[in-house]
Chain A
Amino acid sequence: MKARMRTTVVLAAATLLLSSCGGGGEDAPGAGNTEGAISVFNTEPENPLVPGNTTEFGGGQVMDAMFTGLIDYDQQTTEVKNAVADSITDVDSKVYTFKLKPGWKFHDGTDVKAKNFVDAWNWTAYGPNATQGAPFFSDIQGYDEVNPADPDGKSGPQQAPQPTTDKMSGLKVIDDTTFEVTLKNSSPVFKVKLGYEVYSPLPDSFFADKAAFEAKPIGNGPFKFVSRQVGTDVKLTRFDEYAGMDKPKFKDLTFRVYQSREAAYPDLVGNQLDFIEELPPNALAGQQHKTDLGDRVVERDSLINQTLAFPLYEEKYKNPDLRKAISMAINREEITTRIYEGSRQPADGLVHPLLKGYQKGQCGELCTFNPEKAREYLAKSGFTGTLKIISNSDGGHSEWATAAANSIKNTLGIECVFEPATSLGEFREKINAREMTDMYRAGWVADYPSIENFLNPIYRTGASSNDGEYSNPEVDAKLAAADTAPSEEESIKLYLEAEKMILNDMPFVPLWTQNTIGGKSDRLSSAKLSAFRKLDLTSVEVA
C-alpha cells in the first residue's frame, strides 16, 4: 500500500515536470510568446543555398526567410511595397534608378550597399556560374554578353561560347545607396519582379569565399542562419537588427526536411510539427483532414492555375475547333465540387483572379460546360479518333485527369482516357523534347504577382515555357506592345486584349485555380498562408 502511494506521488511529480517543459512558459493571454520556436515542413533544398541559384520550393522557403530584396510583396494581397528600396524612379520604364534606405545590414554586420545588388545580379546572370536564376536577368542590357546562348541548344554537341565579359552593361553603381539599371526595352513590369528571391543582394564575403557562404549563408532578411544538417533540417533564428517593417513575432525557425508530405502529416496531427503549407492528397481524400485537424486547417486561394496543354506540333490538335470542343466538354463545376469540394474554382480565363488587372469572364462560353455546342464544334472540326490526357500520376493529379477524360468522353461520344506518365522527370522530359502525342497537364505557379507572368512565359512564340509551340504573330505583337507600354494601366489593358486573343485560339484549356490547404499545430495561435503557397512568416504567433 505504502509503495503504491509512493509511485503515484512520483508519477504526479513527473507529469508536473513534463508539462512545465513543454510549450513556452506562462505568458499573458493574447500577448503571444515572442521568444517561441516553430518548426515548418520543408523538402530538401535542391541546390546550394544561394538565392540566385534557388528556384524550387525547399530552398526557396529558406532563402525567403533569410533575404529581403528591393521590394516585397504583401503576403496576403500580393501588393508591391518597397523594402530595401527607398524610392524607385524610371524613365519610360526603361532606365530605373533605385535609391536604397540607410540602415539595412547583412547578418555579418556589413551594410547593404548598391554594389551588393549589382555584384549579386552580375554573378547570377554570368553564364559559367550556371545558376538556375540567370534567365530572370535577361531583360537587362548586356545580358547576352555575360550569358551567350548555346548556338545549337543544350542538346547539341556545341558548347555555349565563353562570355566576353562578366558585367552587364546595363547595371551601374552611382554611389553607395544608388544604382541604375538600363533594360533592353522598356518594361513596366520589371519593378514588380524584384521581390523574387533571385534578385536578392549578396554580401562581400560571398565573393571572397563562395564555399564558406554555402556552408553558412549570410542574408539581410528577418532570419539568420544557425545550422544545417543535410537531409534533416535547417535552423534559423531571428535577426534582431532587421530593418524591415514586418518583424517576426517569434524567435527560432526550423525547416524540417521530411521524406514526404505523407510522412509529415502524422507529426502535424500529433502537434510535433507546427506547419505544413500543403497537406498530402491522402489527408484530403474524403475530408479526412477536417476530422483530424478541425479548426487547425489553414486554407486560402493561391497564385496557381491548372490547364490542359495541347501539343500543337501534332497534326491531331492543329484544328482550333477540336480544342474548343474539348474545352466546352469539360464540366469544371462538377469536377471541382465533386473531387475538390470547393477548394478549386473553375477558371474563366488565363489570368489569376488575385492579380491586379484581372477581368472576369475573359473566356466566356468557351470555358463553360456546354454539351451541345461542344458536339457542334467537334462536328465542325471533323475529328474522329481517340483522345488521351497525359499527366504524372503522383501529386494527386490522377483523380482530376480521370474525371476530365470521362467528362470529354461522355460529352463528345469519342474515346478519351487518362494515361499516367511514370514520373515527373520523364513527363517533363517528353514535354521538353516535344514528344507529347496527346494533350497533357500543365499549370503555372506565379514567380511574381503580375498579369504579365501568366501570359508572356507561356504564350509568346518561343517563350521559355511555351511547350506546346503555340505561335500567333498578332498575339506576340500585342504582348510586345503591352510589355513596353509607357504606363501600368496601359499595359494591363493591352495584356487583357492579348488574353482574349489567346483564348480565342485555345492553345491551352483553362481548368481551375487552386486553393492551398495546409495545417498548423495547436501551439500557433495564428498562422496564415501567403498567396504564394508558403507560410506567411509575419502572421505567425506562438501561443
Chain B
Amino acid sequence: MGRYVLRRLLQMVPVFLGTTFGIYLLVWALPGDPFAGKCGERDCPDAFVAAMNEKYNLDDTIFVQYGKYLWNLLRGDFGETFSGVPVSELIANSYPVTLRLALVALAIEALIGVTAGVVTGLRRRGFLDSLVLVSTLFLISIPVFVTGYVLQLLLGLEWGIINPTVSSKAGFGELIVPGFVLASLSMAYVARLTRASIAETRRADYVRTAVAKGLPQSRVVGVHMLRNAALPVITFLGTDLGAFMGGAIVTEGIFNIPGIGGLIFKSIQSKEGATVTGLVVLLVLVYLVMNLLVDLLYGVLDPRIRYD
C-alpha cells in the first residue's frame, strides 16, 4: 500500500512538469502583446515596456523563461502580476472561495444525485422514476449560463430571496445557489449513474443472500448494495471536484464570485503567464491528488481490489 502511494506520488512529477510547461507555452503562444492595450488609446511609454520585459524575462527564449519561473516556484516564489501584486496573494484570496464553492456543489450533487439514484434504482418504472428521468434530462439539456441567469433573475431580482451577486466574503450560505447551478449538470449524471449501478447490484448473488439471511432492508441497501454500486459514482465525483475547481468560470462570472475561474480567464486575456501557470499548477495538483484518493477509496470499498 505504502509503496503503491509512493509510486503514484513519483509519477506526479513528470505530469506536473509537462502540464506546467504546456500551459506556459500556450499562454506565451497567444496572439497579442500584453502591453498593447494596457495604456488605453495610446502606446505605452518605451521605458515602461522595457522595464516590464526585463522584469518578466520576456526577452529570453520561452525555455529560459520557464526555467527561471520554475526555479523561483521551487523556492516558493509564485512571482508577481503586471500590476505588482504577488500571485501568491491572489491565490490566497481566491482559492479558498473556489474550494468552498466546489465543496458546496459537490455536497449538493452527491446528496441529491445519490438519493435520487438510489430511490429510482430500487423502484423502477414508478412515477418517481419517470419524474427523475425527465428532470435529469431537462437539467442535462440546459446550459449552465441559462440556469445561472434564470436563478439569479428569479431568486435575486424578482423575489429577493438571495442577493443577486455574492459578497466579497463568499461564505457557505451565499454559495448555495451558485453551488446548485454549478452542480446541476453533474447532479443529473450522478442520479442516472447511481440508478443504473443500483439496478445492476439488485440482481447480484450477495444481495440475494443478504435478503435471505433476513437482514433489514436498510442494511441490505446501505451496506451491501451501496458499497458496490458506489464505485463508478465515486470515480465520477472525484474527477468532478477537479472540474469544479477549474471550470467554474461561467458560474463565477454570473454571480461575481471572486474565485479562480474569473482570475484565470482574465490572466489568459492579459497574457500573464506567471499568474495562469501558478493557478493551474495548483489545479493540476488537486486533480492528481483527487485521482489518487479515488483509487485508494476503491480498496476500502471493495476488498477484492488490492494494491501492492
Contact = CB atoms under 8 A, between A and B. Distances in A.
Nearest to B270: A425
Contact of B83 (A45, A259, A262, A424): A45
Contacts of B52: 130
A465 to B, nearest CB: 5
A131 B256 contact: no
B253 A425 contact: no
Contacts of A150: 46-47, 50
Interface stretch (B35-43, B113-121, B298-306): B35-43
A55 B165 contact: no
B253 A130 contact: no
Interface of B is mostly: loop
B46 A429 contact: no
Nearest to B164: A266
Contacts of B56: none
B32 A445 contact: no
B164 A425 contact: no
Interface residues of A, number: 57
Given A154-B46, A266-B164, A47 B83 contact: yes
Interface string A180-217: 00000000000000000000000000000000001000
Contacts of A376: none
Interface stretch (B69-77, B86-94, B201-209, B284-292): B86-94
Interface stretch (B7-15, B175-183, B239-247, B261-269): B261-269
Given A149-B46, A232-B168, A233-B168, A426 B32 contact: yes
Nearest to A57: B40
Given A231-B258, A272-B164, A425-B269, A132 B48 contact: yes
B51 interface: yes
Contact of B84 (A159, A214, A232, A266): A214
B152 interface: yes
Interface in A422-449: 422-429, 432, 442-445
B157 A269 contact: yes
Given A259-B252, A272-B165, A46 B45 contact: no
A130 B50 contact: yes
A128 B163 contact: no
B41 A442 contact: yes
A269 B262 contact: no
B271 A270 contact: no
B211 interface: no
B66 interface: no
A175 to B, nearest CB: 32
B175 to A, nearest CB: 16
A264 interface: yes
Contacts of A270: 156-157, 160, 163-164
16 contacts: A47-B82, A47-B84, A128-B47, A131-B47, A150-B46, A150-B47, A159-B50, A230-B89, A230-B93, A256-B168, A266-B165, A267-B165, A270-B157, A425-B33, A428-B37, A429-B36
Interface of B: 31-34, 36-52, 82-85, 89-90, 93-94, 152-153, 156-157, 160, 163-165, 168, 252-256, 258, 262-263, 266, 269-271
Interface of A: 44-48, 55-56, 127-132, 134-135, 147, 149-150, 153-154, 159-160, 214, 229-233, 256-260, 262-264, 266-267, 269-270, 272, 422-429, 432, 442-445, 457, 464-465
Given A130-B47, A427-B37, A465-B41, 10 more contacts: A128-B51, A132-B44, A134-B45, A231-B258, A263-B254, A267-B165, A422-B32, A425-B271, A429-B36, A464-B42
Nearest 5 interchain pairs by C-beta: A130-B51, A266-B164, A425-B32, A429-B36, A154-B46
